[in-house]
Amino acid sequence: MSGSDWCTIESDPGVFTELIAKFGVKGAQVEELWGLDEESAKRLSPIYGLIFLFKWDKTLQTDISANVLDDVPDGVFFAKQTIHNACATQALLSILLNRADKLELGDTLNGFREFTASLDAETIGMALANQNEIRVAHNSFAQPEPIQIEHAKDDEEGEAFHFISYVPVNGILYEIDGLQKGPRLIDGCDDDTWFEKAKTVLQQRMASYAQKELRFTLLAVCQDLQQKYEQEKQWLSSKKAGQSMELDGNDYINNFPVEQIDDRLSELDDLIKNETNKREKWKNENIRRRHNYFPFVLSLLQRLGQRNVLKELSEKAKEKKKEKITRMEEEQKKRDEAKKTTSDDTNTSAAK
């Protein structure tokens, strides 16, 4: 693999949403899913695809590889991963470029999509490695590293986490993993059933780790929620004003009870406000991610050393840590004793 000049990216919805905007895509954002329930899917609808982050385990790849296609079907964007740290961006692009009919991609991604349309997966991966606009957007999240730490070979070959995508294309649900030879065919689907089918596959994937690994992240690429709520507000306000309107295919608005419009408009105002606050929070968090705190920390340590208080503060910190550990051990001991008491009471009752 090439691409040592591509940085690693944090699996955070604020990071991915800003990355989408830097690509030039409009009307989309990324949200973290804490569950695969129907209510979560409905809240974010329409969802264009899912990004799954998991710990890569070579021993679990055999069954998965059995369903991988040798040839990439017509109309499916698939790129082999030829860049070490780009799997986050590739997972995101696999959704955006496969749902081009639903999204406003912008010049950069439309141009890349057209340029790679006739190329094989390996060549597309190499083309991505050399796509300057995408690489610059990706590397805008590089964190300052004023101190270079050399890692031993064993460390570099340790835990590896990987991003893959689930996306419906032309009536079929695919798993897109750039480390495979082609897309993995999951099942036939439509806009109403693909999420449920992806849910089944994701549950099977997570269950395969059998308690060995609990660190998973699931992100949904969906419509820009603020725009979605503002559009709904506009439609309902027009309906409330008595303006004659019928929206093709939008039974939700067409059948919405007039007497409930005021309550829904109030809810939408709160939702729009929440989205505005969330975007501001994401913006500030991304600024902090890029900021180089090293000069501040170094200056602080120097000042503390000059005032001869560094050792004292260090000792206080150690004491606080010891107190915290002691407190946690005592709390755990109390919980264990409570469980033992409950178990003894249960056994006594059963004996009677």
Residues with a catalytic annotation lie at 87, 162
Residue 6: count other Cβ atoms within 10 Å of its Cβ.
Answer: 21
Residue with tokens 């993995």: 184
Long-range contacts of 232-239, Cβ-Cβ distance < 8 Å, separation of 24 or more:
232/268, 233/265, 233/268, 233/269, 233/272, 236/261, 236/264, 236/265, 236/268, 237/265
Please enumerate in sequence order all residues whose Cβ is within 8 A of that of 170, keeping only pairs 6 or more positions apart, or say none. 73, 75, 76
Distance CA 238, CA 225 (A): 20
CB 185 within 8 A of CB 76: no
Distance CA 13, CA 207 (A): 24
3-state helix, strand, coil in the chain (%, to 5): 55, 15, 35
Strands (E), 267-317: none
For 45-67, b/e burial (b = at least 16 CB within 10 A) is eebbbbbbbbeeeeeeeeebeee
Residue 12: count other Cβ atoms within 10 Å of its Cβ.
Answer: 18
CA angle in degrees (0–180, nearest 5) for 198-204-207: 140
What angle do helix axes 132-139 and 87-96 make, rounded to 10 degrees? 120
CB 89 within 8 A of CB 25: no
Distance CA 238, CA 214 (A): 48
User: What is the amino acid identity at position 200?
Assistant: T
CB 120 within 8 A of CB 76: no
